[in-house]
Amino acid sequence: MKRIKVAVLFGGCSTEYEVSLQSAYSVITNLNPNKYETILIGITRQGAWLRFFGVLEKIQNNTWMDGGDCVPAIISPDRNIHGLLEFRGNKVIATRIDVAFPVLHGKNGEDGTLQGLLTMAGIPFAGCGTLCSAMCMDKDIAHKIVNLAGIKTPPSIVLRSGFTDAELSKQISCLTFPLFVKPANAGSSFGITKVFQKDELYDAVTVAFQHDNKVIIEEAVDGFEVGCAVLGKDSLAIGEVDEIELSHGISAVSPSTASVLSRASERVRVSAVATRRSSISRRRDARSLAVDSMTVARRPATCPCSLRTGM
């Protein structure tokens, strides 16, 4: 049986570069080599695109660029190429790929830029489409979209570079401390500060602006974080809701929060009460399913944070 050529993209010009390497290693090692031929495309912090031929451990320990294991390569926007252009000495070699699997985090990976390139190239890809990726990457835009759908979000204000102290003081007057100060377009908690009083704000805003030119300040919410994987296109397979837990643990103890899950007056763990709402009859590896069924994202509904599935 002819194997499907899967281009796995990792790294990137992002503060989440290291996170991407670990995610990519996990994805690659869990793809069935009997069904998929992996083509590894690394992007350096400086934005150089390279096809990687070395051992996978070099991705995990961030030495993939060392030792002559790479050749310059880019995704061609030409749909007739439907894949890579590799630059080997004075030769340019076209390598066709069947599907792309972006494992890039944060800017230049999850913000619609790469998705737009792949769409132009006519290459199917796993994950959310261009519009959904762009909207969900920007916390301010995402708040506005879900508010229109009737989903509550914390009260917040937005700052852009060049703000004055007077503007900051005026805008936060409608908010109640403690506050979270966040870059609007960043992930993995980079640049985020919890602020308990006004004199801490300026430093927190300065840190956030190191990661983006747009900053959102929002009221803190006493709760916990959950995740839910969603796969599919015309029909959706929805996985179990699970709690995102830090090393010190995350739980909800307030009666108001607990009552939502019918577990008032005791500690709540989402993983203990969530029910499976999937139409599929058996558990399958999420990433394998995404490629195997070729249910590549073309609409916002495929995104776990799209309005259709809840955000």
CATH of the domain at 207: 3.30.1490.20
Query: Rounded to an integer, what distance in angstroms lies between the CA atom of residue 60 and that of residue 82?
Result: 28
Answer yes or no: do 194 and 292 share one domain: no
Same domain, yes or no: 246 and 209: no
Q: Do 51 and 109 sit in the same domain of this protein? A: yes
Specify whether 39 is located in the same domain as 119: yes
Q: Do 177 and 290 belong together in one domain? A: no
| Judgement on whether residues 112 and 195 belong to the same structural domain of the protein | no
| Domain total in the chain | 3
What predicted TM-score, i.e. pTM, was given to this entire model? 0.74
Whole domain around residue 142: which residue ranges? 128-152+223-311
Last residue of a domain, one of 125, 142, 170: 125
Which residues make beta-bridge pairs with 243? 226
Same domain? For 66 and 115 the reply is yes
Tell me: pLDDT of 117 over 70: yes
| Judgement on whether residues 66 and 197 belong to the same structural domain of the protein | no
Q: Are residues 285 and 200 in the same domain?
A: no
Contact, 278 vs 109, CB < 8 A? no
| Residue 301 confidence (pLDDT) above 50 | no
pLDDT band at residue 163 using 50, 70 and 90 as cut-offs: confident
Q: Rounded to whole angstroms, how far apart are CA atoms 143 and 169? A: 22
**What percent of the chain is modeled with pLDDT above 70?**
79
The mean-pLDDT minimum among 13-17, 63-67, 138-142, 240-244 falls in 240-244
What is the rounded CA–CA span in Å between residue 49 and residue 276? Answer: 40
With vertex at residue 293, the alpha carbon angle to CA 289 and CA 295, rounded to the nearest 5 degrees, is 90
- What is the per-residue pLDDT for 221? 92
180 and 239 share a domain? Answer: no
Share of the chain above pLDDT 90, in %: 63
Q: Assess whether 165 and 28 both reside in one domain.
A: no
pLDDT at 132 > cutoff 70 = yes
The predicted structure's pLDDT at residue 162: 85
- Give the residue among 52, 72, 48, 74 at the shortest CA–CA distance from 63: 52
**DSSP string covering 103-159:** ---STTTSSSHHHHHHHHHT--BSS--HHHHHHHHSHHHHHHHHHHTT-----EEEE
pLDDT band for position 247 (cuts 50, 70, 90): low
Higher pLDDT, 178 or 262: 178
Average pLDDT, the chain: 81
Of 76, 109, 125, which closes a domain? 125
